[in-house]
Each structure stands twice: as structure tokens, then as C-alpha cells.
């Protein structure tokens, strides 16, 4: 490689363009860059050849996704730092569905909250497509065993990072300190083994949850989190119930 | 016609002079006046149709994108259409059809290359292999070693495009898979240090006399002070990459970042959010031979689709 020297100069012109200009020695070239993104908006008319490819797929998809599987009496969203209606709905059902699907009692459910639950459930009919939007990922349910001491550390991490939804756990956040940690209303017993239900994403250390990686995984058949959500909605509907979830306000925050 | 414009607001002229090794191949052919238009997308996440509601309502959609590309092709003959991965996952189209439709449509739009994003593994290696049969363009990834698994031979580290005499070397880089992707989905795919691999790529592409080097990086734009490889870290540590087209962090950039590293090389980094809301466009022009003077030729911004 010949190491001739080439000088490059960055310039923003008065014409609202961005350039990268290389002023070069003989035998080289100047390069100028300009940048002009195109927003793809409704003013851009669609392509007929592309539409023709999409149409049969869309028709097949719609026939599956438009199925109404339940009704929500109010909007379920991820609004709220530690607890939300949607976060509570999903963590609660992960705990309860694990009991039926895996025949295991779960003490604590943890879900990737604001980043993981990708769309709200809006008041009114809930379609299968709505659940796909809420949970587009192919995440599977995982059960983990954790000691009381490690569970306390995990709860502290969640309390300090505000990174996920945990259920049914209560605590008080005072600055960076967590007080009055309770699991289902009871104090954590340090040498007791607790069962956690979560997604494989978090269990593999995603979103900063590296402390979950070394935990013992209980051998359970593969069940997708999305299928669990669909199952819960179908079951509640079959019982004649509508979907509604209140925020428990298990977690309180004050200035230190 | 209402159109949001992505004009660069800053009027401040700034200049910094930097010295970098010459891309020596420029001596080979007369590139003067030659232009290359680069169109790019990242993290389209199976958004076949425009958003139906929410903050991006009406935006995106592959049919409209195809029209926009066709329009640009009609005036710009010398064009590369590139994607930076995570084509998969995000709408039921992926859950139902496994990426088949996304890749058929990208083929119809005549994409030139994509790279392997973390979500390309969402249906496992077998799922990726199945979908790849619908892609008429190559997957470029230099730091994932697939040689021991089912898609061996179907992903290449780089490709050199000869675009009207301009030799353009394009290579791909991916994000660390461990902790991000379910291990059983990526199987025995081996992740290699992207910075070391990028150095090898630059050497190889320079030796092969590329006039322009582009990296398709699905590593993410910037992770601050951490050691996690990012586009900014790549530009800082590896010289000779002219353009990094980014992805993974869904970053909407007001303008490309021009980063001059300690060795004096300047790299342009750009990323266009996600879901096909924007089509990125960078025009590169090789202008007159420099004789100590700064020479450049402005290209008007045209965001009329």
C-alpha cells in the first residue's frame, strides 16, 4: 500500500448540504458526499408490481390475525416506571400460566417491560394480530431457581434500574435504596429456593440481567410467551370475563 | 404535497484538515466526474405495510419504498441499494411466512446486498437458510463464521461492485450474539472481534484496489465509554472505511456523522431509524484532481420521491 498523503476537509456549505471533501495530491480524487434521505410517506404512491406480490400474503395473514380472541374493558399500556397495566397483566399471567402449563408454582415473574411489550392492548375487541404486535418476538418462557439472597439482589437491581416489571413484589424506593422488600407480602427468606418465570431473552442475560445467566434452569417444554398471552385471553373469554388489570401500586418511591 | 424535509439546519461552516493514507486505486481509472448514489435501509423489521397508527402513522411500507427507489433509479444510473440487517421480525408477516415475503420484495426492488442482523437468527439457522432462497442478493458478514453450519457458503464477508468504473468494496459486520440471541438459534456460528476483522477487510479491499469502502454495520451507533463495539468505535479505530451504514440501535440521525479519527481519516456514519420509515441516500462524487486546491461539486438535495 502506497502511503501518499491525502488531506481531507470537512465542510458544511451554506446551501444546507453536507460535504466531505478530500483535497488530494495529484493522481487522487476529491470525494464529495451529499445526503438526502427520502421519507416514505403516504404521498409516495405505491408500486403495482410490489403490491401484486404482497396481496396474497396479506389476505392469508388477515384471515388469521383478524380473529377476535377477547375484549378489553380499558386500555392496557406500559405507562408507569415500575408498574403498568400491561406489565402487570403479562407478569401475572406468566406466573399463573406457568402453574398450568408446567405444573410448577412460580414465586416471581419478571418481564422486559417498556422494551419488551411492544404495543398496548386497546379497549374493545382484542384480535390475534394485537397480541402479535404486543409480543412480536419468539421469546420462550423459562423457569429459574434462585436463592432468597440472590432474589433480594435481583429485586434491588430492578428497583435501581427500573428496567423491568416484577410481580408480585413490593418495595419502597428511596433514592438509590430499596426498603421493605416483600414477595407476595412476605419477607424474603435468605436460604429458601424461589422460582422465577421470565423470558429466555432475560434469562440469557439480555437487558443487563447478567445475574440470571448462571441460575439453574428448570427443564420445561418450549412454550412461547406470545402463545401464553393468547391462551390467557382465550381462557378468560371462555369464562365470560373481559380483560382488565389494575395497577397494584406495590412499589412506592420517595426522595431520600 | 406535504413532505417532511430532512434538511440540515446548521449553517455553521466548519473545517478541519486531516491527513490520511491514499486510496491508491484512484490512480487506476479516470474517476473524474463519476458519481455513485447509495440508497440504504436498516432494521426494516418486517414492516411490509405502512404503520396503521401511532407516532409513525402512514409512514413506511415496502410498496411506496419501491416506488421511491424506482424514481431515483430513473435519474441516477449508477446506484447501489444496500440494507443493514434486521429485515426480520416485528410484524405477523414474519411470524407467518418466516421472512419469505420481505426477501421477495427486496429482490424485486433489486437490492444489491444486506448483512446478517441479530434478528435474522430468530427462526434459527434453518429458518434463515429457508428464507435466503428468496433473496436474489448476497448476505455480507465478515465477523460471523458460518463455515461449520447449515448456511456455510451462503454468506460472504464482502463483495466488490464495479459501478461504472468505481470499484466499491462492501463488507458486513454483526453484533455480539451471546446474551442477545438464543444460543440454540445461532448454533455454532462463531462471532469474531469486529475491529480486528474490519482491519483485515480494509487491507484486503485496499489490496484489491477499491476506490470506496463501505461497511454494513449491524453493531449499533454508539455505546458511549463502554468497550462494546459500535460504529463510532469502528470509525475511531479503523481507518480507510469511507462510509459506515449502521443499524441495530434504530438511530434516527439528523445528519450523517463525519468522524475524523486520531490517524486523520474521516469516515461518514449514517443510519436511518427503522421500519423503512426513511430511505437513506448518500451521493458520492469523484471530482477533479486536486492540485492543492479544494474542489467540490455540490449535489442538490432531492427528497421528492
What does the pLDDT look like over B239-292, one tens digit per residue? 999 999 999 999 999 888 889 999 988 899 999 999 999 999 998 888 754 322
CA distance A208 to chain B (A): 9
Residue B14 has pLDDT above 60, yes or no: no
Residue A28: the pLDDT is 59
Mean pLDDT of chain A: 86
To test the contact with chain A by mutation, choose from B92, B269, B300 the residue with the greatest count of A C-beta atoms within 10 A, namely B92
Is residue B23 assigned to a domain? Answer: no
A52 in B contact zone (CB under 8 Å): no
Coil, helix or strand at residue B154: coil
Residue B3 has pLDDT above 80, yes or no: no
If pLDDT is split at 50, 70 and 90, which confidence band does A238 have? very high
pLDDT in tens, A124-164: 999 999 999 899 887 899 999 999 999 999 999 999 988 89
pLDDT in tens, A74-98: 999 999 989 999 999 999 999 999 9
Which range has highest mean pLDDT (A169-178, B196-205, B254-263, B282-291)?
B196-205
Domain locations in chain A as residue ranges: 70-147+195-248
To test the contact with chain B by mutation, choose from A15, A16, A34 the residue with the greatest count of B C-beta atoms within 10 A, namely A34
Which of A94-98, A194-198, B194-198, B298-302 shows the lowest per-residue confidence on average (mean pLDDT)?
B298-302
Mean pLDDT over A95-108 rounds to: 93
pLDDT in tens, B90-144: 888 998 999 999 999 999 999 999 999 999 999 999 999 999 999 999 999 999 9
Residue A12 has pLDDT above 50, yes or no: no
Chain A segment 77-136 residues within 8 A of B by beta carbon are 129, 132-133, 136
A15 in B contact zone (CB under 8 Å): yes
B130 in A contact zone (CB under 8 Å): no
Chain B segment 236-265 residues within 8 A of A by beta carbon are 242-243, 255-256, 258, 260, 264-265
Residue B5: the pLDDT is 27
Residue B288: the pLDDT is 58
Is residue B20 assigned to a domain? Answer: no
Is residue B14 assigned to a domain? Answer: no
Contact (Cβ atoms closer than 8 angstroms) between residue A86 and residue A247: no
Residue B30: the pLDDT is 77
A20 in B contact zone (CB under 8 Å): yes
Find the domain containing B170 and state its range: 37-290
List the beta strands (DSSP E) in chain B. 17-21, 35-41, 79-83, 139-140, 144-145, 155-156, 158-163, 166-173, 190-191, 212-217, 243-246, 257-260, 266-270, 278-289
In the sheet with B166-173, reading across from the earlier edge strand, the strands are B158-163, B166-173, B212-217, B243-246, B266-270, B257-260
Residue B107: the pLDDT is 98
CATH superfamily assigned to domain A70-147+195-248: 5'-Nucleotidase, C-terminal domain (3.90.780.10)
Euclidean distance between CA atoms B43 and B177, whole angstroms: 16
Q: Provide the angle, in degrees to the nearest 10, between the axes of the packed helices B100-108 and A48-65.
A: 170
Is residue B269 assigned to a domain? Answer: yes
Is residue B159 assigned to a domain? Answer: yes
Mean pLDDT over B76-95 rounds to: 94
Contact A13 B94 (CB under 8 A): no
Residue A226: the pLDDT is 94
If pLDDT is split at 50, 70 and 90, which confidence band does B9 have? very low
Residue B266: the pLDDT is 86
Is residue B32 assigned to a domain? Answer: no
Task: Please report, for the domain that includes residue B280, its CATH number.
Answer: 3.60.21.10
If pLDDT is split at 50, 70 and 90, which confidence band does A15 have? very low
Q: State the DSSP string of A192-241.
A: PEEEEEEEHHHHTTGGG-GGGTTSEEE-----BHHHHHHHHHHHHHHTTP
A61 in B contact zone (CB under 8 Å): yes
CA distance A179 to chain B (A): 30
User: What's the total number of domains in chain B?
Assistant: 1
pTM, entire model: 0.74
Contact A44 B67 (CB under 8 A): yes
To test the contact with chain B by mutation, choose from A38, A48, A78, A229 the residue with the greatest count of B C-beta atoms within 10 A, namely A38
Higher pLDDT among residues B34 and A86, named by residue = A86
Residue A102 belongs to what H/E stretch? helix A85-102
CA distance A50 to chain B (A): 5
Residue A13: the pLDDT is 27
ipTM of the complex: 0.84
Closest by Cα among A104, A92, A144 to A250: A92
Amino acid at each position: 500500500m502506497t502511503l501518499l498523503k491525502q488531506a481531507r476537509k470537512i465542510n458544511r456549505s451554506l446551501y444546507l448540504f453536507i460535504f466531505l471533501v478530500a483535497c488530494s495530491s495529484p493522481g487522487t480524487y476529491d470525494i464529495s458526499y451529499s445526503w438526502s434521505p427520502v421519507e416514505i410517506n403516504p404521498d409516495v404512491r405505491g408500486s403495482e408490481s410490489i403490491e401484486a406480490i404482497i396481496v396474497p400474503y396479506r389476505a392469508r395473514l388477515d384471515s388469521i390475525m383478524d380473529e377476535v380472541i377477547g375484549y378489553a374493558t380499558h386500555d392496557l399500556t406500559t405507562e408507569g416506571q415500575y408498574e403498568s397495566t400491561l406489565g402487570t397483566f403479562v407478569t401475572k399471567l406468566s406466573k399463573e400460566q406457568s402453574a398450568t402449563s408446567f405444573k410448577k408454582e412460580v414465586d416471581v415473574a419478571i418481564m422486559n417491560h417498556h422494551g419488551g411489550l411492544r404495543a398496548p392492548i386497546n379497549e374493545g375487541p382484542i384480535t390475534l394480530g394485537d397480541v402479535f404486535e404486543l409480543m412480536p418476538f419468539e421469546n420462550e418462557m423459562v423457569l429459574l431457581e434462585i436463592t432468597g439472597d440472590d432474589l433480594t439482589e435481583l429485586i434491588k437491581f430492578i428497583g435501581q434500574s427500573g428496567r423491568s416489571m416484577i410481580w408480585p413484589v413490593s418495595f419502597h424506593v428511596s433514592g438509590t435504596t430499596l426498603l421493605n422488600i416483600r414477595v407476595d407480602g412476605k419477607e424474603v427468606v435468605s436460604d429458601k429456593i424461589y422460582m422465577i418465570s421470565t423470558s429466555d431473552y432475560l434469562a440469557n442475560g439480555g437487558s443487563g440481567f447478567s445475574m440470571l445467566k448462571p441460575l439453574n434452569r428448570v427443564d420445561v417444554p418450549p412454550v412461547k410467551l406470545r402463545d401464553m398471552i393468547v391462551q390467557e385471553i382465550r381462557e378468560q373469554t371462555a369464562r365470560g370475563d373481559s380483560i382488565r388489570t389494575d395497577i397494584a401500586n406495590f412499589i412506592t418511591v420517595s426522595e431520600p | 404535497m406535504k413532505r417532511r424535509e430532512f434538511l440540515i439546519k446548521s449553517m455553521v461552516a466548519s473545517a478541519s484538515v486531516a491527513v490520511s493514507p491514499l486510496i491508491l486505486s484512484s490512480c487506476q481509472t479516470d474517476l473524474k466526474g463519476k458519481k455513485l448514489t447509495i440508497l440504504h435501509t436498516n432494521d426494516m423489521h418486517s414492516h411490509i405495510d405502512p404503520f396503521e397508527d401511532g407516532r409513525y402513522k402512514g409512514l413506511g411500507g415496502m410498496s411506496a419504498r419501491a416506488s421511491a427507489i424506482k424514481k431515483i433509479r430513473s435519474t441516477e444510473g449508477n446506484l447501489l441499494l444496500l440494507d443493514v440487517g434486521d429485515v426480520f421480525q416485528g410484524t405477523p408477516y414474519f411470524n407467518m411466512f418466516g421472512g419469505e415475503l420481505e426477501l421477495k420484495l427486496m429482490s424485486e426492488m433489486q437490492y444489491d446486498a444486506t448483512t446478517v442482523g441479530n434478528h435474522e437468527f430468530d427462526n434459527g439457522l434453518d429458518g434463515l437458510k429457508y428464507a435466503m432462497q428468496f433473496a436474489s442478493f448476497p448476505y455480507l458478514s465478515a465477523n460471523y463464521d458460518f463455515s461449520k453450519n447449515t448456511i456455510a457458503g451462503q454468506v460472504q464477508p464482502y463483495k466488490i461492485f464495479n459501478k461504472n468504473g468505481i470499484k466499491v468494496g462492501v463488507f458486513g459486520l454483526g453484533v455480539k450474539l451471546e446474551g442477545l440471541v438464543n444460543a440454540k438459534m445461532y448454533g455454532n456460528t462463531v462471532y469474531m472481534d469486529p475491529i480486528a476483522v474490519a482491519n483485515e477487510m480494509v487491507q484486503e479491499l485496499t489490496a484489491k484496489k477499491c476506490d470506496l469502502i463501505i461497511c454494513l454495520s449491524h453493531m449499533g451507533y454508539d455505546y458511549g465509554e463502554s468497550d462494546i463495539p459500535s460504529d463510532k468505535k469502528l470509525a475511531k479505530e479503523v481507518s480507510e472505511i469511507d462510509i459506515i451504514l449502521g443499524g441495530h440501535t434504530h438511530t434516527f440521525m439528523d445528519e450523517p456523522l463525519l468522524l475524523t479519527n486520531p490517524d486523520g481519516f474521516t469516515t461518514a456514519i449514517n443510519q436511518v431509524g427503522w421500519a423503512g420509515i426513511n430511505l437513506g441516500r448518500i451521493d458520492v462524487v469523484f471530482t477533479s484532481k486536486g492540485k492543492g486546491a479544494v474542489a467540490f461539486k455540490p449535489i442538490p438535495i432531492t427528497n421528492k420521491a
